[in-house]
């Protein structure tokens, strides 16, 4: 990748407050067009909040975002057409087949049927689901669902694909094949990939550029080599731990999860 690529994502002093809590604190970074960019950080660092602001789901408290030349607040539709997204939680319709899920997405994106039919076949082939296209998604494994979500995210030829922990809970074989799909589509379509992960070895292998966020602030960014040099470490995982410390950040639990945890701890007495 050449260094002269324009920045397809520009983030300047981006801030999001939830009441008194500053979830994202004056964050600035750029992502070059065609890059594979890893956005890393411990639990609660502000990654999802940032992705939500980049993808028009949340309005920033302050700061500036430019996605593919557009401001997500002023040009919401143009920004939405610029990216595809694969969420942490599967967002497929289990009661529909793989093909129907793809067709539904094509309708939502107003793709002409003449174009979408071919694209759907091509993408299902690409993620090795063509022979399962008429099966209900509820019969799919976790890896198959994630592959279908990626195919769906690519349907409208987005310039950017956002993936929030795309490999969470998948076995090493499936993780490896997902990254190889993403690398090939990044190359073939010059599509920018923006992802989060807790698997540091994946980021080290795949990402051209890495930003590390902690407690709402970007604490370092560069290539994996830059980050290792800067911290005098030999792996990205060590560099990450050196930069963010060893304190365990508990995963935020929703109200329902907290209730479940309580009933597990107290044997369901309360
Ligand atoms: P990450 O994705 O890095 O785990 P998040 O962006 O989800 O982090 O969260 C950043 C911080 O903002 C955390 O302290 C989290 O508890 C808080 N937060 C996230 N969403 C909300 C919300 N809707 N209301 C209040 N606080 C929130």
Over 80: is that where the pLDDT of 90 sits? no
Q: pTM, whole model, 2 decimals?
A: 0.87
Torsion sign over Cα 94, 96, 97, 99: negative
Higher pLDDT, 89 or 26: 26
How far is it, in rounded angstroms, from Cα 253 to Cα 235? Answer: 30
Fold of 7-267: Rossmann fold (3.40.50)
Shortest-distance Cα residue to atom 1 of ligand 1: 44
Higher pLDDT, 249 or 104: 104
pLDDT value for 239: 96
As a whole number, mean pLDDT of residues 162-171 equals 87
How far is it, in rounded angstroms, from Cα 121 to Cα 115? Answer: 11
Strand partners, 218: 213
The span from the first CA to the last CA of the chain, in angstroms, equals 57
Atom of ligand 1 nearest to the CA of 216: 10
Over 70: is that where the pLDDT of 234 sits? yes
How far is it, in rounded angstroms, from Cα 185 to Cα 198? Answer: 22
pLDDT value for 120: 95
Mutate to test the pocket of ligand 1, among 15, 49, 55, 57 (most ligand atoms within 8 A of CB): 49
Residue 197 near ligand 1, beta carbon < 6 Å = no
């Amino acid at each position: 990748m050449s260094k002269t690529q324009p920045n397809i994502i520009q983030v300047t002093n981006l801030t999001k407050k939830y009441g008194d809590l500053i979830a994202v604190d004056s964050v600035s970074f750029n992502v070059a067009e065609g890059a594979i960019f890893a956005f890393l950080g411990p639990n609660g660092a502000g990654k999802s909040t940032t992705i939500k602001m980049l993808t028009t789901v949340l309005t920033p408290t302050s700061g500036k975002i430019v996605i593919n030349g557009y401001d997500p607040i002023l040009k919401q539709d143009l920004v939405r057409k610029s990216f595809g997204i694969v969420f942490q939680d599967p967002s497929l319709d289990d009661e529909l087949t793989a093909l129907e899920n793809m067709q539904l997405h094509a309708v939502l994106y107003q793709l002409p049927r003449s174009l979408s039919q071919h694209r759907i076949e091509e993408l299902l082939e690409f993620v090795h689901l063509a022979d399962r296209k008429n099966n209900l998604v509820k019969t799919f494994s976790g890896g198959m669902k994630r592959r279908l979500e990626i195919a769906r995210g690519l349907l409208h030829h987005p310039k950017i694909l956002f993936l929030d922990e795309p490999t969470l809970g998948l076995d090493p074989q499936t993780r490896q094949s997902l990254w190889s799909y993403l690398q090939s589509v990044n190359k073939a379509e010059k599509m920018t990939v923006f992802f989060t992960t807790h698997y540091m070895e994946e980021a080290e292998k795949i990402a051209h550029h890495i930003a590390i966020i902690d407690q709402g602030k970007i604490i370092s960014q560069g290539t994996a080599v830059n980050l290792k040099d800067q911290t005098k470490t030999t792996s990205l995982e060590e560099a990450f731990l050196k930069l963010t410390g060893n304190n365990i950040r508990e995963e935020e639990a929703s109200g329902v999860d907290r209730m479940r945890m309580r009933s597990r701890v107290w044997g369901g007495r309360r």
